[in-house]
Structure 1
Amino acid sequence: MTKAIFFDIDGTLVSFQTHQIPNSTFEALKKLQQKGIKLFIATGRGKDGLDVLKDFPFDGYITLNGQYCYTQDKIIYENTIQKEDLQALLDYLEKYPFPCGFTEEHTKYFNMRDERVDEIHRITHNDDHPAGDCSQVIHHKVYQCMCFVDEQEEKALLKVMPHCISARWHPLFCDVSPVGGTKQNGIDQFLKYYDIDLSETMAFGDGGNDIPMLKHVAISIAMGNANDDVKEIANYVTNDVEHDGIIHALKHFNLL
């Protein structure tokens, strides 16, 4: 019996075409809650990027790929990048400049912006943050960095940030986060908090950063617009966002 469902946002709940959650999906979520099923967000977005949810009362939020997890009124788990790794990143940026977004609890800011950042903002409508001096970042609580590098550069970057891991859902950038906070860890934090067993879980996703989460839950669902590697590990592949993929899968598993 499914008691908890975890949803990615971009490309899963939110369409890359309309940048909105379909009204039909909101109605389906209400029906699930009426049945007593707990609903959770599991996203790479920060707290300041959740306006797209239109204040729908989810039971918990796994944000920044698991670095900051909270309910409507309580922080459940938080994990920040170590000061020495942030300094190593700043030193690396001096030698090999690239756009980098630093995410704090309520905001994000960039060291610089270029066409890569603008391209991602056109997709997410969530990356229009300002750019400027980031030298004081080592004195702040930074939960995640958005690094606009390719996969080869990503490997080189992680060598100088040994206490961090990376996740990627787009070829233009990767999210660099501290070891320990992941979407699957966020799931475990909420299961413990609400006393729900892992065997009673389901998750929806579409990107590479969703793969560990989808492998972790009892029932994993890949959206029709998902990457092929996501579809390969999922228990079920549903329709895309624009064609009521969430609803189609929920009906398939007799939850609607």
Structure 2
Amino acid sequence: MYKLIALDMDGTLLNSDKTISERNKNAIKEARKKGVYVVLASGRPIDGLLNFLEDLDLISDDDYVLSYNGCLVQKSKSRDVISSVSIKGSDLDYLYKLSKEVGVNIHAFSKDRGLITPKNSKYTQYEADQNFITVKEVSHDNLDLNEEIIKIMMIDEPDILDNGIKKLPKELEEKYSIAKSAPFFLEFFNKEANKGLGLELLAKHLGIRKEEIITMGDAMNDYPMISYAGLGIAMGNACDEIKEIANYVTDSNDNDGVAKAIEKFVLND
């Protein structure tokens, strides 16, 4: 019997119009009635998930959320931290200088200051609007090199970002976990942090074996948790790499793929 379902948000639980279908809501509700934990696992900060957590009634003393691609695992109501894996201001300083060299914009999430950037841009504002947070334009010339940074993102028009990525040094793959979570987002976080590790730490906290876990996702930042789980499920709209490692491919995010998988593997068992 499965005891925990971890769901990516964009491209998975959310439709193309960024809402949760009634069928998906009902399937999640019925799974929870059977005692199954349902956990949102997203690259977004918890504030960007709050409306969805409320919509799904996933805010209680016994509900959890994986935010920032697993860098932060916490209770959704009290926000008590289960695990936190971050990087530093020195990493932001390094990546900021690289971003200028390759010609792309950059922003970061500071634990204390929130969403910070040396210059607001289209996709930084998009990030802020999507997550209901504000942008703080701050100089990166005198960063506190010990400041706790949750994640850093290079952001730009897809063609500009892709061109910039080609110019990045290979050593970055040794220093950071890197995930392209959208055509215009390249994310950098602690080498030890990803959705898979965050899920593993939460599972240990709850006393749940990986064989008792279902995960669903569509993009490369979902790869670690899809490969970790006992049942890794790719969305019908997932990238080929995710479909290749998945145990099962469900329908697309616009055709209730999450609900159909929950109905098949949890509600009809």
TM-score (norm 1): 0.87
1:61 aligns with 2:65: yes
3-state SS of paired residue (2:148): coil
Aligned residue in 2 for 1:32: 31
The residue correspondences of 1:226-241 to structure 2 (distance < 5 A) are 226-241=238-253
Superposition RMSD on alpha carbons, in Å?
Answer: 2.7
Residues 88 and 161, structure 1, Cα contact 8 Å, conserved in 2? no
Residues 40 and 62, structure 1, Cα contact 8 Å, conserved in 2? yes
Aligned residue in 2 for 1:147: 154
3-state SS of paired residue (2:43): coil
Shift of residue 203, structure 1, vs aligned partner = 0.3
Aligned residue in 2 for 1:98: 104
What amino acid is the match of 1:66?
G
The residue correspondences of 1:106-185 to structure 2 (distance < 5 A) are 107-115=114-122, 117=124, 125-126=130-131, 129-130=134-135, 132-135=137-140, 136=143, 138=145, 140-148=147-155, 149-150=161-162, 153=165, 156=168, 159=171, 163-185=175-197
Cα offsets for 1:192-219 (capped at 9, x unmatched): 1111111111101011111121011010
User: What residue ranges of structure 2 are gaps of 5+ in the alignment?
Assistant: 156-160
Bigger shift: residues 188-197 or 100-109: 100-109
What amino acid is the match of 1:2?
Y
3-state SS of paired residue (2:214): strand
1:222 aligns with 2:219: no
3-state SS of paired residue (2:12): coil
Shift of residue 137, structure 1, vs aligned partner = 5.8
What amino acid is the match of 2:86?
T
What amino acid is the match of 2:135?
P
CA distance in 1, matches of 2:110, 2:101: 24
Count of residue correspondences:
253
Residues 81 and 178, structure 1, Cα contact 8 Å, conserved in 2? yes
Cα offsets for 1:160-184 (capped at 9, x unmatched): 6853220113232211001111111
What amino acid is the match of 2:73?
C
User: Could you say if the C-alpha distance between residues 91 and 254 of structure 1 is closer, same or farther in structure 2, counting changes exceeding 3 Å?
Assistant: closer
What amino acid is the match of 1:10?
D
Aligned residue in 2 for 1:70: 74
TM-score (norm 2): 0.83
Question: Quick one: percent identity of the two aligned structures?
Answer: 26
CA distance in 1, matches of 2:202, 2:139: 33
CA distance in 2, matches of 1:137, 1:242: 44
Cα offsets for 1:108-145 (capped at 9, x unmatched): 23333445556x659x8348853622423645321001
User: What residue ranges of structure 1 are gaps of 5+ in the alignment?
Assistant: none
CA distance in 2, matches of 1:219, 1:69: 21
What amino acid is the match of 1:5?
I
Residues 81 and 164, structure 1, Cα contact 8 Å, conserved in 2? no
Shift of residue 99, structure 1, vs aligned partner = 1.4
Aligned residue in 2 for 1:201: 213
User: Could you say if the C-alpha distance between residues 154 and 202 of structure 1 is closer, same or farther in structure 2, counting changes exceeding 3 Å?
Assistant: farther
3-state SS of paired residue (2:73): strand
